[in-house]
Chain A
Amino acid sequence: GAVVSQHPSRVICKSGTSVKIECRSLDFQATTMFWYRQFPKQSLMLMATSNEGSKATYEQGVEKDKFLINHASLTLSTLTVTSAHPEDSSFYICSARGTESNIQYFGAGTRLSVL
């Protein structure tokens, strides 16, 4: 299957700092990437859909100024958690879907802990 690389895998930061998470499709071009958040023992909640070259589409209740998404190329999308607070601590996962596939492939996830 296709490979999606997500970096970093773990971040510990102080409250008020910003954190950038990268998501790359390594062997295919991803016209669409997705960002999810997952709290312990809960399912994946879609935060936003990122399309290359256009603005991201955010789900209801997700603050776009808080979670900045940039889909700069067909292989890279970034999520920046701005002015992170302890309640932003979570597992963030990206996925990517190629132009000719119905399947979303997931990155390994980023565990964010805000102190």
Chain B
Amino acid sequence: GQNIDQPTEMTATEGAIVQINCTYQTSGFNGLFWYQQHAGEAPTFLSYNVLDGLEEKGRFSSFLSRSKGYSYLLLKELQMKDSASYLCAVRDLIRNAGNMLTFGGGTRLMVKP
């Protein structure tokens, strides 16, 4: 089976940096995704990692270590609009021919002034 763990809630200050961690266990790892979801809305794609290392995209960066089953999403220069849930999702080659994603519980980030 798959286990995807991420903190339930985090709080950070506007302008600061926050790191959201995600650990996973899977049989046939084939990529890790981060999505942002505002309350009552659908998730929007943030990043995709399949090889080890850091992927940077503006204020958001995502890191992956396959040997450790670990990823993090780094948000810099936090803005109030970054208050949302951040979902870590893993794609597994073995499940459903590698088509499906399994989502973690999501981390609700609150940015305070």
Contact = CB atoms under 8 A, between A and B. Distances in A.
B42 A107 contact: yes
Contacts of A44: 43, 87, 103
Contacts, number: 50
A109 B101 CA distance: 17
The CB with the most chain B CB atoms within 10 A, among A105, A106, A107, is that of: A106
A67 interface: no
B106 A106 contact: no
Taking residues whose C-beta sits less than 8 angstroms from the other chain, chain B's interface range is 20 to 34
Taking residues whose C-beta sits less than 8 angstroms from the other chain, chain A's interface range is 20 to 34
A102 B87 contact: no
A21 to B, nearest CB: 13
B31 interface: yes
Nearest to A57: B96
Contacts of B96: 49, 57
Contacts of A114: none
B76 to A, nearest CB: 21
A46 interface: yes
A100 B102 CA distance: 20
A26 interface: no
Contact of B31 (A34, A42, A43, A102): A102
B105 A43 contact: yes
Contacts of B41: 108-109
19 contacts: A1-B45, A34-B100, A34-B101, A41-B108, A43-B105, A43-B106, A44-B43, A44-B87, A46-B100, A46-B102, A49-B99, A57-B96, A91-B40, A93-B42, A102-B31, A102-B50, A104-B45, A107-B42, A108-B41
Interface of A: 1, 6, 32, 34, 41-44, 46, 49, 57, 91, 93, 97, 102-109, 111
